[in-house]
Structure 1
Amino acid sequence: MAVEISPYLYPRGDVREALETYRRALRGSEPEVTTYGQIGMPDPASADLVANAMLRSEVVGVLMVSDYPPGMPEEQRPPAGGLAVWGDDGPMLEAAWEVLSEGAEVHQDLSPSPWGTRFGTLTDRWGVSWMFDVAAPATA
């Protein structure tokens, strides 16, 4: 059996909207979504909340996303999360940056860094932190 490690995010607010944005930004397939209602949570108010979603992406592999479990106290909630995305496919990473920066708080524009790449950071509109590091394409 293979072992995988995947980022697991808890976007604040509309998780389905966040998931659709991540799908567009990261060149993802249609996500597999399981709701709290599907796993037997009896509260009708939380039935449509996302218990678990898996997004397969060309950029980050598998990304997992969820609403907080119904009734979880604020002090026990994990942070929204953060991702570092890097590589030398400038066009792909720039396209992802553009989608994710819509409505985001950009902390540092994607710009030349002292270590020779283009680097930028932002917090998207769901509270998830993103760090991009775009290297120049390798030459043969």
Structure 2
Amino acid sequence: MTFAVTTHLNFRGQARAALDFYQRVFGGEQTLMTYAAMGQPDLAASPDHIIWGQVVADDGFRIMAFDVQAGRNYDTGTNAFFVSLRGSSADDVRQRWTALAEDATILAPIGPSAWSPLYGMLSDRFGVIWIVDVDPRA
């Protein structure tokens, strides 16, 4: 048996924009289901909000997201989670870093670190903190 871990991001009305952005960065296929399409438009602040969405790319990248229901408490939190993106190619890692860095706050500039030939940390324009590095075993 194997397991796959997928980061699931929670938003309040920004899930579609976030998934569009991540699809632009990583490619792959995007799937979006709205509250209206699932017959639950009254649960969301807008029936067009996303009840479930994902981006899945051929290279193994996968992320899911949704817009929290209107009646449910929602707080983005502080350092509630990080998304770790580790690749085997410095060129591919740098390409993803550059795309993620659009309108981001750089927390640690990309460069060599004690544990990786290339490492960086940023808070993207949606407030998601990404740790991006090259697998030192690659």
TM-score after normalising by structure 1: 0.81
Question: Could you list the runs of 5+ residues in structure 1 that have no partner in the other structure?
Answer: none
- Structure 1 residues 14 and 42, CA gap change in structure 2 (3 angstroms): closer
CA distance in 2, matches of 1:3, 1:120: 27
Whether 1:24 and 2:16 are equivalent positions in the alignment is: no
**1:86 maps to amino acid:** R
Match of 1:7 in 2: 7
Displacement, 1:3? Answer: 4.8
Structure scoring higher RCO (CA < 8 A, sep ≥ 6) equals 1
CA-based RMSD of the aligned residues comes to: 2.7
CA distance in 2, matches of 1:53, 1:78: 21
Runs of 4+ residues over 4 Å off in structure 1: 77-81, 135-138
- Structure 1 residues 21 and 74, CA gap change in structure 2 (3 angstroms): closer
Tell me if the contact between 1:11 and 1:127 (Cα under 8 Å) persists in the aligned partners.
no
CA distance in 1, matches of 2:11, 2:118: 26
Displacement, 1:107? Answer: 0.3
Tell me if the contact between 2:35 and 2:49 (Cα under 8 Å) persists in the aligned partners.
yes
| Residues matched between the structures, number | 136
Report sequence identity in percent: 29
Alignment of 1:1-140 (within 5 A): 3-11=3-11, 14-29=14-29, 31-43=30-42, 45-74=45-74, 81-135=81-135, 138=138
Higher mean C-alpha deviation, range 65-74 or range 99-108:
65-74
- Structure 1 residues 97 and 73, CA gap change in structure 2 (3 angstroms): same
1:113-132 deviation line (CA, Å, top 9, x unaligned) = 12242110001111111001
TM-score after normalising by structure 2: 0.82
Tell me if the contact between 1:10 and 1:81 (Cα under 8 Å) persists in the aligned partners.
no
- Structure 1 residues 92 and 98, CA gap change in structure 2 (3 angstroms): same
CA distance in 1, matches of 2:4, 2:130: 21
